Amino acid sequence: MSKTALSLETPPDLKRPALVSNDRSIGWVSHNVCDIVEAPTPKWWLLAISITSPIALMGLICIIYQISNGVGVWGENHPNGWAWDITNFVFWIGIGHAGTLISAVLFLTRQKWRTSINRAAEAMTLFAVICAGIFPAIHVGRVWYAWFLAPIPNTNAIWPNFRSPLLWDVFAVSTYFSVSVLFWFVGLIPDLATLRDRAKSKLARTLYGIGALGWRGGNRQWRHYEMAYLLLAGLSTPLVLSVHSIVSFDFATSIMPGWHTTIFPPYFVAGAIFGGFAMVLTIMLPAAKIFPQLNDMITRHHVDKMAKIILLTGSIVGYAYLMELFVAWYGVNKFESFTFFTARANVNGEGWYQWAYWIMMFCNVISPQIFWFKKMRTNYIVVFIVCQFVNVGMWFERFTIIVTSLAQDFLPSSWGHYAPSTTEILTFVGTFGIFLTLFLVFMRFLPMIAISEVKGVLPEADPHHHHPKH
Amino acid sequence: MSQSRKVYGLGAEFESAGALLTAAAKIREQGFSHWDVHTPFPIHGMDAAMGLGKSKLSAVVFVGGLIGLLTGIALVSIPSFILYPIIVNGKPYDWRTGPAFFPIIFELTVLFSAFTAVGTMFVFNNLFRFYHPVFNWDRFTRFTDDGFMMVIEARDSKFSETRTKALLEEIGGKHVTLIHD
Amino acid sequence: MANIFPRWSNWLPLKIIFCLLTLGGGVSAGVWYYLNPEYMRVGYQPAQPVPFSHKIHAGQLNMDCRYCHSYVETSAYSNIPTTQVCMNCHSQIQGTSPKLQLVRDSWQTGKPLEWVQVHKTPEHAYFHHSVHVNRGVSCVSCHGKVNEMDVVYHAQSHSMAWCLDCHRNPADFLRPVAEVTNLDWKPQGDKTQREIGAALVKDWHVNPPVKNCAGCHR
Amino acid sequence: MSKRVFQHPAEAQTGKRYWRSLGQLQDTPEFRTWLHREFPQGASEVEGNDVSRRGFLQLMGASVALAGLSLSACRRPMKYLVPFTKGVEWSVPGKALFFTSAMPSRTGAMPLVVTTFDGRPTKVEGNPMHPVNKGTTDIWAQSSVLDLYDPQRSQSVLSSGKKSDLAAFDTELAALLNTAGDGAGLAFLADGSVSPTAERLRHLILAKYPKAVWASYEPNGHELENAAVAAAFGADLEAVPRLDRADIVLTVDRDILGVEGEISSVRGFAAKRKVDGPKSKMNRLYVVENRYTLTGGMSDHRLRLPASRAGAFLKALATELAKLSGDAGLASLASSFKAPETKFKDKWVEETAADLWAHKGGALVLAGRRQPIAVQALSFAINASLGALGKTLELRKSATAPTVGIAALAETLKKGHTNALFILGANPIFNAPADIRWTEAQAAAKNVIHIGMEVSETGAKSNWHVPSAHYLEQWDDARASDGSYMVVQPVILPLYNGVSVNELLAKIAGVEADPMDLVRQTFLAVSGKKGDITADWVDTLKSGYTKGSAAKPVVATLQAASVAKVLAEAPVLTGADKDFELVFITDSKVDDGRYANNGWLQELPDPVTKLTWDNAALISPAAATKLGVHTGDVLKLTVGDKSLEIAALILPGHADTSISVAVGYGRTEVGSLGRNVGVDVFPLLTSTESRFRVGVTAVKTGKKHALAVTQEHGALEGRGADLTRQATVAEWTEKADDKTFFKKMGIDAHAPENFSLYSHPPLDDVHAWGMTVDLNSCIGCAACMTACQAENNIPIVGKEQVINGREMHWMRTDRYFASEGGDVDEPEMVSQPLMCQQCENAPCETVCPVNATVHSEDGLNVMAYNRCIGTRYCANNCPFKVRRFNFFDYNERSITSLYRWNMISEKGMADSLQMQKNPNVTVRMRGVMEKCTFCVQRIQEAKIAAKVHASDSAGQTTQPRVPADVFTSACAQVCPTDAITFGDIRNPESKISKLKDDQRGYRLLEYLNTENRVWYLARIRNPNPKMPDAARAGSASKGGHGHSEKHESAHTPNGGHA
């Protein structure tokens, strides 16, 4: 980002809406963001966490029960070896893509408006990936032997199968999580310093102080810092694309009709961004309501832009759905066409899960089309509702892909219905508890908005900006 | 803090990013080398103003990435091709099945690069240094809010308590203060 | 305002990192060493109810292994001799030795002796004695120099990697079938073990399962 | 396991010795492998209570856990090796011993060879030397091993319900007999499987107590048939169908290939069905039946007809035949028979008659055993006029003297003069016809002594119950269905102090002899020799049967007069037109309920309905629409004043006005597995002229009952040409020279050639294992499934888990109903055994993240259970869905406690069940994927045997090689029709190396390029071109859409749980 001495003259300002409304000052930003953390614990927060944490606990209990008794307490069977477990995994990992995408891709593309949402989005990414990680971990029959997946020398002289997409998943997801954590933390350092220096209590000062790693904001630090940030962004961008591509390989590299599809990687990535942004909005809109002071930083323009992205990615996903149908029709493979036209779209009444398919179609393809209208894009209520549709739709997309292909595959004799068990449902609900609890904690103790980055995009931050000092 | 302790340097505060930028340019012209500006956010053009080149970080990260790449290649190929080749899905155990190994190689490359980047940044920035003299200047921490600070270290050959103080005030520094170690 | 942290805190991170590295290294080294069959099994030497000495019987008296472990050539399992077998000799020799009291009791009461098991194949691995001893794998390769043991102990690790060592290079271990129970056998003449073994592998077309998991795991 | 097991019965050793020497003497391939077969880990030498092979994975887990706690804990827990004090003759720790024996059964005993490890019988196989079954068996023989170890067998003498002992019983018995006098107060009720020895003792008893009553009863027996035979040909004869001689077979309501036929019939039919080219001659099967049976599934022409109309059909047929043959006698017989007016499919009767007549002498007509005497008699008349007698229908003297029926006995008892009633194995309180009110009758007897393997409803209501020995625990003898004499050898001492029926009878008869001598004396009598018969006795024990002892056919002619009398007197069937008829069918698994506590059988899907753990009212789709019910809706069936409620199961191809229910379910006094499973329909059964009842009303109750059906979907969805390929003889003849005719069907007809970017790594073993399944001779009896279960330690999962779709059978027999245009009323039925296809390019392998399933050089897709972490990815990626996952710890947890928290619920398996397990096969724990491995344990043992045999013998050209066809997989070995062939495709002498290149050979989903190692041989249909429905034959594979959509329920019986 550092410009050369020659270009000290800034280009003439394009007519763009201000990224922070009401012409706020630098001090105002740090004050208002930190205020959220420093203010006494609000009632609603206590209420919220007292609801979400028991739900999280319930989820954990279900997991313990499942591990101690076996996968049988879920609804999986022959032929549906996977169902809700992997559906939930892909669902969460998909959500986990928005954060890094906003931080990295928008950063590389100089989308300055990202600054007010990237912090929360990254946090959301981490928590979503944690929830996602739970499912592949516990879906295996013998969790206590999961270390077989690790390529460590052992007295059995046996190694994992590096050709298995499932092993790719292990590497991809763990890498993605680590890198996201780094990315998030590096971004936090200057803001932790701000909190450190504002902190009243000794404890807070010490804790934030440790987090800030003795940050001094010297320009000699900033330049390495910015380079590191740039590189992380550069690394995360291919990473974020690779992760969901690899997740899609779980299906694409198999031979099951409805899984064995080359369009999966781009289609999954688009879907991930789609669902991710929906989840970001699902969280940011209420947050902006709760903290009015954020309204100047999370403006209608942000919502508008994100709605546009949802519209775009939603349409890409829709295109993928149609392309699958087309290929199934155009190809001569009866098994393929059965899966798409009978098992899923159910044109002739023999499909078992058509409801899942059509819910997916409506939520993911139809509902976002409303965003063609700016009025709708900037109407928080409408946006919020559509986002909920998208959240639901994306879950059903994964359910449709996994279950319909397995339930009705090559040999009719092996067909079988699938129905989730209570344990299974509660486990999934539990992960929402975990997700929300973590996010509430984050909200309470860490700056929800990247203070230094927002400051950086204030007009005041421009060295050649001259206006009366307050 | 007792006056007996040795002087670390002089600190001055400036009213805006712009002021700091111009001041920095001046200080550089004076030929100071051990000095820095402390700001709430990176100021565009400051590197140039201070005469700092491009960070060397990227070079180190490249090496890190390279190590990751080689680790990945070794990890997937040695067990699969040499230690225990097994017939899986009728696929040969050599590079003809290469594509199946790329994902893991790629992920490891990214992982190593990322850790190198952050690690090196910590080292270059001398982070994890919790105690630092500049914090002894009570106004200093305003840099995390909306203060624009400049600190010139005493160890700089050109440093002199009086002249440097004057210089700082001349170029618009407020609250010029002597910082003790 | 002043520094939050004292001067010494600047060294703390380094110290912590150092400790963590040492600890981690130590733990992995410990696991590596102690949780390894090389440590867990080798040297396992439980006391037996009857102080039977292989050293005396197989060593000094030079009895053939197969006198007692009679089914080793025909069965997957190398049987533990029945009391009957002990009494074959000990009804005459040392008929009154207190060491043999348990054996005599067993013979009279019909209540079997309970020997402590030393070598145990994992339940999921199917080791077949006869196919090994009939193809030139000596007792000594897996059980060590039993003829020099007063009390039998676990001589080899019997880990899967250890099995594979031989399955991958049988030439290093094979010997003429006649010499299988001769625990002191050394390669004859100027030939090395590898030369002899290689020849046998070639003549007998030895190809132990290496890639075939079902060779041992069913 | 109890130490008793290792003390071999002294008597048995003779048998052992002979058997073994026979192995060397008779150098048949089977024996060579048996003698070579060996196995690791002499279970006898690992301490009895240590059943670690079962829980081995837990053990591993435990030791890993301990390792964390303290390093000393890393040492393995102390285990003891407990050798015998004295060596046991012939018992080599870790080597199997084999005994000839036979499984008694009312339809002729099954000749067996019993496999024992360290004195524990673990598996039975057919006796390969016996002409009747040639080494094959059926599901009941296979699962009888489980009965032996059933921990819930009756284990002690009960005196009016309270625990007592044998001594007390003996004194009581003595007292009873002292007062017996001329036996006026004695009565006996035996079941149908009466051994020659028992028969001999019976005569001794009757000689001693001339006034004693001896009755016999089999709920699924032959009473009506015997009566019909008596009427048609004279007393104490029995009619034996010879399908091995018949070119044209017409069965009318007779499941000759299923539960109403002997293995000899099945093999005879299959022999006539084998084809090696379009030229080869093939029999033709016409079937008239009310519900789909295995016979119907094999038919070339099938007529859907209520059982009550079978008579009418035969009448029509007889009339037609009489026209063709000008046989006036037959004509008059037919006309004298008053059958309800019935309309048949046009030309069906005419053409069938014509075909039968055209094959005079090679034709056979069989009527159902449940049909009225008149109807069966008429069928014999027809056979007579077709010249079948002595050719396709043989008559021979019945081995057992006639006895009174249960109804007569009940009458005697009710008079109240009976002092002692001995019930030998039978269970009349449960399964006697309702109208004879047996319970009262039994109560009228002063003392009731019941001997049986389980207490049962009858034993519970008897003064004395004596546990009887399992046939594997006792000396006995039996006659095979060809009448040949066989000796039943004990292979283990009675586990639960059971007493054999013979011993009891001997006591009553006052014969002092040990059980073996009892049998030897019978043998002496049977052989009709004098003096020393040891040589013959030895020979019989060697080969398992006495050569040349098969029953001789007798020449008999039709006694037209008596037949005419029977026909004339036969009551006219009334009420057949309105309402439904109710047909009592023999269950394909629990028979009359005697196997109710056998988990393998309860969980085995019925070959036709695929129903497990239940019985149901089978109705046609049309009837279902009429009644407004779906599968699982409970119906109320009312006949006369009796009624019961039972769930409906919609079965395509069922007669519309007919309801079929299997008897033998709903037992109350039985082990926990069988208790209250299904519905007891005996209350509706009356000892009338026939075993079906007319004038039955069925109404929907609105209740629901979950039925555990293993195959949810029965339609082929237009994939017949891909999965189950068929052709008619005509079509095949046309394409006789087209090598790819059967290979290019369905999607393979237009899929491009497969080619791979990769070269396959060398599968360079000298062996290459493969399998062929001949769909033309496979009748779908599911014996292979049971054999697989017995061989591979496959657990049962219980009804609830079957409903969840988690049954563990490694191989299944798929059953499809399909027809062009989706006609659910008269579809075709196709059975297809499906085991792991052992793809050379196995899709399951590449997706396993831990290399738990990989390929072996001899071409197997092997599974290392202890490496598996259970991601189930492999199962998902299997196109055939043949992989099975242990969702729960089925081996360690009872099927009722699966959902209880592991840490608080009881674990472990009954010792006796552990004894049954095959020590050569790992018992899998939960969370592990398992699958068919072509019985890799047998493969390994054979390879090892070959290597041991080779030893250091120099000058071998290749590595030691297993000779062709010396061993085979469990499913191939059991298959009664030899439809499954397993072997080394790389060995030119092996059967399979030729079979797999048969023109009919094809592989499933060839276009996926999975390179399966299982070849299916297409099914050939032999329809009569003149028949109206000739064109429909093989339509299941004509690619037409399987079933019409609206009838989805018809073949989604289990659709309930989505």
Indicate if C144 and C70 belong to the same structural domain. Answer: yes
Name the neighbours of B, counting chains with at least 3 Cβ pairs within 8 A: A, C, D
CB contact under 8 A, A155 and C5: no
Name the neighbours of D, counting chains with at least 3 Cβ pairs within 8 A: A, B, C
**pLDDT (0 to 100) of residue C130:** 92
CA distances (Å), D818 to each of A304, D87, D362, D719, in order?
57, 60, 31, 10
Indicate if B63 and B48 belong to the same structural domain. Answer: no
Average pLDDT over residues D296-304: 93
Q: How many helices, marked H, and strands, marked E, lie in chain D?
A: 33, 39
Question: The tokens 């035996």 sit on which residue?
Answer: D190
Q: Which of A208-212, C134-138, D70-74, D904-908 has the lowest mean pLDDT?
A: D70-74
- Residue D997 neighbours by CB under 8 Å, 6+ apart: none
Could you say which residues of chain B have pLDDT below 70?
Answer: 1-4
**pLDDT (0 to 100) of residue B63:** 96
Indicate if B108 and B86 belong to the same structural domain. Answer: yes
**pLDDT (0 to 100) of residue D181:** 85
Domain that holds residue A40: 29-143+161-460
Q: What residues does each domain of chain D span? A: 3-149, 237-397, 574-709, 720-751+767-1037
Which chain C residues are within 8 Å of D67, Cβ to Cβ?
Answer: 34-35
CB contact under 8 A, C36 and A205: no
**pLDDT (0 to 100) of residue B73:** 94
Of the candidates D541, D546, D544, the residue with the CA atom closest to the CA atom of residue D528 = D546
- Residue D556 neighbours by CB under 8 Å, 6+ apart: D233, D234, D237, D389, D395
Which chain D residues are within 8 Å of A143, Cβ to Cβ?
Answer: 869
Among the partner residues C111, C120, C130, nearest to D948 by beta-carbon distance: C130
Q: Which amino acid is at B19?
A: A
B82 touches chain C (CB under 8 A): no
CB contact under 8 A, D716 and A335: no
Output the average pLDDT for chain D.
85
Q: Which of C165-169, D20-24, D894-898, D943-947 has the lowest mean pLDDT?
A: D20-24
Residue A276, in any domain of the structure: yes
Among the partner residues A154, A155, A209, nearest to C5 by beta-carbon distance: A209
Which chain D residues are within 8 Å of B92, Cβ to Cβ?
Answer: 758-761
CB contact under 8 A, C4 and B85: no
Which of D34, D37, D85 would you mutate first to test chain C, the one with the most C CBs within 10 A?
A: D85
Output the average pLDDT for chain A.
89
Residue pLDDT, tens place only, D845-854? 999 999 999 9
Indicate if B111 and B169 belong to the same structural domain. Answer: no
Q: How many CB pairs under 8 A join A and D?
A: 203
Domain D237-397 falls under CATH 3.40.228.10: yes
Of the candidates B15, D79, D65, the residue with the CA atom closest to the CA atom of residue C118 = D79
Residues 131 through 150 of chain B touching chain A, CB cutoff 8 Å: 131-132, 134, 141-146
Q: Is the pLDDT of residue D69 over 80?
A: no
pLDDT band of D880, cuts 50, 70, 90: very high
Residue B1, in any domain of the structure: no
CB contact under 8 A, A163 and B91: yes
pLDDT band of D1045, cuts 50, 70, 90: very low
Domain that holds residue B79: 57-124
CB contact under 8 A, C136 and D952: yes
Residue B2, in any domain of the structure: no
**pLDDT (0 to 100) of residue D54:** 32
Question: How many domains would you assign to chain A?
Answer: 1
pLDDT band of D77, cuts 50, 70, 90: low
Of the candidates D353, D288, D287, D284, the residue with the CA atom closest to the CA atom of residue D316 = D353
In residues, how long is chain D? 1058
In residues, how long is chain C? 218
C47 touches chain D (CB under 8 A): no
Residue C44, in any domain of the structure: no
Among the partner residues C1, C5, C160, nearest to A155 by beta-carbon distance: C160
Residue pLDDT, tens place only, D446-494? 999 999 999 999 999 999 999 999 999 999 999 998 889 999 999 988 8
Question: How many domains would you assign to chain C?
Answer: 3
pLDDT band of D48, cuts 50, 70, 90: very low
Indicate if C166 and C202 belong to the same structural domain. Answer: yes
Among the partner residues C4, C5, C211, nearest to B87 by beta-carbon distance: C211
Is residue D948 within 8 Å of residue D900, measured between CB atoms? Answer: no
Percent share of chain D, pLDDT over 70: 89
Average pLDDT over residues A67-72: 92
Indicate if C98 and C165 belong to the same structural domain. Answer: no
Provide the β-strand partners of residue D98.
D115
**pLDDT (0 to 100) of residue D1029:** 83
pTM comes to: 0.90
Which chain D residues are within 8 Å of B100, Cβ to Cβ?
Answer: 846
* CA separation for the pair A409, D882 (Å, rounded): 13
Provide the β-strand partners of residue D216.
D190
Indicate if B61 and B116 belong to the same structural domain. Answer: yes
Domain that holds residue C16: 12-39
CATH number of the domain where residue A240 is located = 1.20.1630.10
C161 touches chain A (CB under 8 A): yes
Beta strand residue intervals within D866-962, DSSP E: 884-885, 929-930
Q: Which amino acid is at D289?
A: E
Q: Is the pLDDT of residue C143 over 80?
A: yes
Q: Is the pLDDT of residue D38 over 50?
A: no
Residue pLDDT, tens place only, D862-877? 999 999 999 999 999 9
Q: Which amino acid is at D529?
A: K
* CA separation for the pair A43, A47 (Å, rounded): 6
Is residue D658 within 8 Å of residue D620, measured between CB atoms? Answer: yes
Q: For residue D1046, what is the nearest residue in chain A, using CA coordinates?
A: A349
CA distances (Å), D861 to each of A360, C214, D807, D864, in order?
38, 9, 21, 10
Residue A442, in any domain of the structure: yes
CB contact under 8 A, D805 and A142: no
Q: Is the pLDDT of residue A126 over 60?
A: yes
Is residue D299 within 8 Å of residue D285, measured between CB atoms? Answer: yes
**pLDDT (0 to 100) of residue C40:** 83
CA distances (Å), A330 to each of A321, A337, A340, A347, D784, in order?
14, 9, 12, 16, 42
pLDDT band of A301, cuts 50, 70, 90: confident
Q: Which residues of D touch B (CB under 8 A)?
A: 756-761, 763, 840-843, 845-846, 851, 854-857, 1011
Q: How many CA atoms, within 13 angstroms, populate the side-chain half-sphere of residue D53?
A: 26
D1016 touches chain A (CB under 8 A): no
Which chain B residues are within 8 Å of C7, Cβ to Cβ?
Answer: 131
The dotted CATH code for D720-751+767-1037 is 3.30.70.20
In a 3-state reduction of DSSP, which class is residue D1018?
coil
Q: For residue B96, what is the nearest residue in chain D, using CA coordinates?
A: D758
The domain defined by D574-709 folds into: Barwin-like endoglucanases (2.40.40)
Residue pLDDT, tens place only, A249-285? 999 999 999 999 999 999 999 999 999 999 999 988 9
Residue pLDDT, tens place only, C169-182? 999 999 999 999 99
Which chain C residues are within 8 Å of D956, Cβ to Cβ?
Answer: 203-205
* CA separation for the pair D891, A256 (Å, rounded): 31
Question: How many domains would you assign to chain B?
Answer: 2
Among the partner residues C4, C160, C164, nearest to A205 by beta-carbon distance: C4
* CA separation for the pair D132, C2 (Å, rounded): 103
CB contact under 8 A, D865 and C110: no
- Residue A258 neighbours by CB under 8 Å, 6+ apart: A336, A339, A340, A343, A344, A401, A404, A405
**pLDDT (0 to 100) of residue D268:** 93
CB contact under 8 A, C212 and D94: no
Among the partner residues A139, A164, A411, nearest to D723 by beta-carbon distance: A411
Which chain A residues are within 8 Å of B150, Cβ to Cβ?
Answer: none
Average pLDDT over residues A283-311: 87
Indicate if B152 and B64 belong to the same structural domain. Answer: no
CB contact under 8 A, B101 and A220: no
Which chain B residues are within 8 Å of C9, Cβ to Cβ?
Answer: 130-131
CA distance A42 to chain C (A): 28
Among the partner residues D841, D851, D857, nearest to B90 by beta-carbon distance: D841
**pLDDT (0 to 100) of residue D303:** 92
CA distances (Å), D1001 to each of A247, D8, D814, D993, in order?
39, 48, 19, 12
Indicate if B68 and B22 belong to the same structural domain. Answer: no
Determine if residue D752 is left, alpha or beta; phi over 0 gives left, psi from -120 to 50 gives alpha, anything else beta: beta
Indicate if B138 and B109 belong to the same structural domain. Answer: no
* CA separation for the pair A354, A342 (Å, rounded): 8
DSSP at D243? T
Which chain D residues are within 8 Å of B88, Cβ to Cβ?
Answer: 845-846, 851, 854-855
Q: Is the pLDDT of residue D969 over 70?
A: yes
Comparing D279 with D932, the larger pLDDT belongs to D932
Which chain A residues are within 8 Å of D751, Cβ to Cβ?
Answer: 332
Among the partner residues B86, B92, B96, nearest to D851 by beta-carbon distance: B86
Among the partner residues C1, C10, C14, nearest to B131 by beta-carbon distance: C10
A209 touches chain C (CB under 8 A): yes
CA distances (Å), D232 to each of D239, D262, D380, D561, in order?
10, 22, 7, 9
Q: Is the pLDDT of residue C89 over 80?
A: yes
A82 touches chain D (CB under 8 A): yes
Residue A7, in any domain of the structure: no
Residue pLDDT, tens place only, A23-56? 788 888 888 888 888 889 999 999 999 999 999 9
pLDDT band of A288, cuts 50, 70, 90: confident
Indicate if C137 and C57 belong to the same structural domain. Answer: yes
Residue C45, in any domain of the structure: no
Indicate if B79 and B47 belong to the same structural domain. Answer: no
CB contact under 8 A, A217 and B40: yes
